[in-house]
Every structure is written in structure tokens, then in C-alpha cells.
């Protein structure tokens, strides 16, 4: 169930009064309906308020659909420089307690964030880099992956509009350009893992179906980060937009027993979620990060 949300639009360069808009069903539509050049939005959920200070927080961020808008191809996304600057400042002011948690490999995350080199979990936690640069990797039977990749490639080659992404320890089939083939892609993935269920699982996402190692998810990656410096002892906040991020939100609810010092999940965009907070789109994430960076205390 969506949480009741209040949008507050403020015009700092005018004398117009603040105008509240109550929105309980579609925050993204409400946010865009303001359509004003000076709009800044804050979203207040009924149980939790989106943090307005980075002090004491450990920040975890998904990449696609959260930091960057989704694109027709994974290699066509763009991270604006001001967002990179916000991440740099927030990482510095939290002593490094900021990590990317993505389905992409760490090498791809580094490419888009360069010159930043932040803690990161890639491939849904199959690889994880700590603040000190140590990388832990989970491996699988690459021969099994090769068999599935070969079969998937043949299917993609015969089906216009599909795109196969090789993730090394798994594969992803994108159907954004051919949504009419969504069911066929899902059936293919289920068929491919059928004899390999003990080692692999199917992970649906936004216009994509992935085959990935069983037992790995963003929630376990976040929990591992929270056991080490500089994340330990801080309150975790995780922003994500897709089905894969729900495991991360669930992990946050388990931190500290879900009490006042438990983690806070922030769903980006529309759709059902177990996260208590919501931002309407990627642009709102950028504004929120900029606000946090602007008011962040210096790290001690």
C-alpha cells in the first residue's frame, strides 16, 4: 500500500506562499503537475520522514533508475556532473559511508562515476568492494553460464528488439525495445535455469529478466557493508527503483529490529513497495542528494 505523501513546493525567489498538494496514489504525477521552474519538492511519508541531514547515516544507492534515468541500452545512460559532485562531497563528509549497490559489475559503475572510486556492490552482491579497496567475489560454474548464454543469444538473434547482456556470472535479456516479447523472455529464462535451480535463479526487473547466482541479492550486500567500517554503527538509507531493490528494503527493516534506528528504504518512482519513503523520479533523487551535500557537516 502506498504511503500518504505530502508535496511542498517552495519558490525561493518569489513571495508566493508555500502550496501543499496532498497526494496518496501517484506521487510522480503529482510532482510533475507542479511544473514550475523553481520547484523544490520534499516528500514526507506517514511513518518516516526522508532524512534532511547526512549526519549519522550510511547511504546506499542503486544506479540505473535511481542515479541515472533508464535508457534504451545499458551503455547509453548518463550521470550529470553535479550528481557526481554531490556523491563526492557526501562520501567525504561521511568518512566514506556511501556505497553503490547495483546489478551492474563494479567496473561499469566505476566507468560512469569516474574519477570517483566508491565502495560498491556489483552484480547484486556477487562482487563487493570495501572502502579499503578489498574486493570479494562470488564465482559460479562458468561452463553452465556459457551454455545458457549461447541458448539466450540464439533466441535474441531470432527475435528483433531484444538485447543480451553478458554479466560474466549470469546473463540479462532486455526487452525494452520489444515489450511484446516479455512473456517469451520470462519463459526462456525459466527453461534455462530448470536443470540448474540449485545454482541459479531468475530475477525479473524493469523490461529485463536476469539469470543470476542463487542466494545473492542487494539485501545481503547491504548487510555485509553494515558489519564493517565506516558503515557500522550508522543508520542505513537505501534508494532503489526496481524489484531487485526490494530485497535491500527488506534488509533495512531487519537492521536494529526495525526500530527508530533501523534502516530507511526509499522507493524511486511508481509501483508497490515495502519502502516507507518515496521519491518520484531520478531528478528528485538528484535534488535530494544536492540538498544533503549542501547541508552536510564535515567528517571528523
Is the CA virtual torsion 260, 265, 268, 271 positive or negative? negative
Beta bridge partners of 5: 23
CA-nearest of 271, 272, 148 to 210 is 148
Please list, in sequence order, all residues whose beta carbon lies within 8 angstroms of the beta carbon of residue 44, skipping any fewer than 6 positions away: 5, 6, 8, 50
Reduced to 3 states (helix: H, G, I; strand: E, B; else coil), residue 42 is coil
Give the active site residue among 62, 89, 217, 245.
Answer: 62
Angle between helices 81-93 and 282-294 (to 10 degrees): 40
CB 216 within 8 A of CB 227: no
Residue with cell 561499469: 108
User: Rounded distance, CA 22 to CA 284, Å?
Assistant: 17
Q: Which three cell numbers stand for residue 4?
A: 500518504
φ, ψ at 121 (rounded to 5°): -120, 125
CB 172 within 8 A of CB 163: no
DSSP 8-state code for residue 54:
-
139 catalytic? Reply is no
Beta bridge partners of 59: 98, 237
- Residues counted in the chain: 300
Active site residues: 62
Amino acid at each position: 500500500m502506498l504511503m500518504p505523501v505530502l508535496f511542498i513546493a517552495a519558490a525561493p525567489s518569489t513571495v508566493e506562499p508555500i502550496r501543499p498538494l496532498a497526494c496518496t496514489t501517484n506521487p510522480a504525477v503529482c510532482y510533475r503537475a507542479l511544473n514550475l521552474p523553481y520547484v523544490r519538492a520534499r516528500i514526507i511519508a506517514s511513518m518516516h520522514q526522508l532524512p534532511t541531514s547526512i549526519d549519522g547515516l550510511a547511504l546506499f544507492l542503486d544506479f540505473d533508475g535511481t542515479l541515472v534515468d533508464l535508457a534504451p541500452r545499458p551503455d547509453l545512460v548518463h550521470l550529470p556532473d553535479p550528481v557526481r559532485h554531490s556523491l563526492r562531497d557526501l562520501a567525504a563528509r561521511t568518512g566514506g559511508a556511501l556505497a553503490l549497490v547495483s546489478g551492474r559489475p563494479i567496473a561499469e559503475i566505476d566507468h560512469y562515476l569516474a574519477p570517483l572510486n566508491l565502495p560498491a556492490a556489483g552484480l547484486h552482491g556477487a562482487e563487493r568492494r570495501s572502502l579499503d579497496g578489498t574486493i570479494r567475489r562470488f564465482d559460479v560454474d562458468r561452463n553452465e553460464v556459457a551454455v545458457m548464454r549461447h541458448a539466450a543469444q540464439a533466441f535474441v538473434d531470432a527475435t528483433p528488439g531484444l538485447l543480451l547482456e553478458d554479466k560474466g556470472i549470469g546473463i540479462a535479456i532486455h526487452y525494452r525495445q520489444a515489450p511484446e516479447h516479455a512473456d517469451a523472455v520470462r519463459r526462456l529464462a525459466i527453461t534455462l535455469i530448470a536443470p540448474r535451480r540449485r545454482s541459479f535463479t531468475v530475477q525479473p526487473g524493469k523490461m529485463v529478466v536476469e539469470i543470476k547466482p542463487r542466494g545473492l541479492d542487494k539485501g545481503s550486500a547491504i548487510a555485509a557493508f553494515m558489519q564493517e567500517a565506516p558503515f557500522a554503527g550508522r543508520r542505513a538509507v537505501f534508494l532503489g527503483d526496481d524489484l531487485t531493490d526490494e530485497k535491500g528494503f527488506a534488509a533495512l527493516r531487519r537492521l536494529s529490529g526495525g526500530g527508530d534506528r533501523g534502516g530507511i528504504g526509499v522507493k524511486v518512482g511508481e509501483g508497490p513497495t515495502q519502502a516507507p519513503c518515496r521519491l518520484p523520479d531520478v531528478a528528485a533523487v538528484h535534488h535530494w542528494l544536492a540538498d544533503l551535500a549542501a547541508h552536510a557537516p564535515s567528517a571528523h
